Structure 1
């Protein structure tokens, strides 16, 4: 949901959270959550790493920005667009290449050079 439209007192679905659409709502279900309030106190990096492990691929780092926006909001802070967390994420977590992804999956997800190169 657009952060400007979030109503803190009406959090019944994951899509009621700031920056959460159907795809991200599905990620929370995949992570084992059934209600938005269950995310209170969650570690956004742990959520991101677990999602990468479950899917077997590294998700775009902006997914971590979204998780940071949700957990920050659930700590009582105002809803903010996910991209306002990008610099904080880069400072806090650095490079996320291959984050949370098993080595075997990393090897499969990288493009192979053309034959003879």
Structure 2
């Protein structure tokens, strides 16, 4: 099992702009978001509660969640969606639902400190990779 808490620096991306388009993100926001080399931080608050922080030159934001409990999430572009995050082995599985559309983000924390994020919406799959600092 990987040690999840900590900061992760951006390494690479593939098809992320396509994923954002499939999710309905506007052209300006998705163009900016797909070019950003952000940093992620995961904080274990205990009792299944977590904080995910995203830092970038464009916008910083965070989500607070308890594993397995539904919550209302505000996406980086300001849309609100229903979400639930579960822990499956060494993966956070993040399911979002907005206006009947769904997206799934699987964040796999590998023992070597690599974080592989797989984004799925409709028929589009994107990947972003990070490395623990």
TM-score, normalisation: structure 2: 0.28
Structure with higher Rg: it is 1
TM-score, normalisation: structure 1: 0.30
> More strand by proportion, 1 or 2?
2
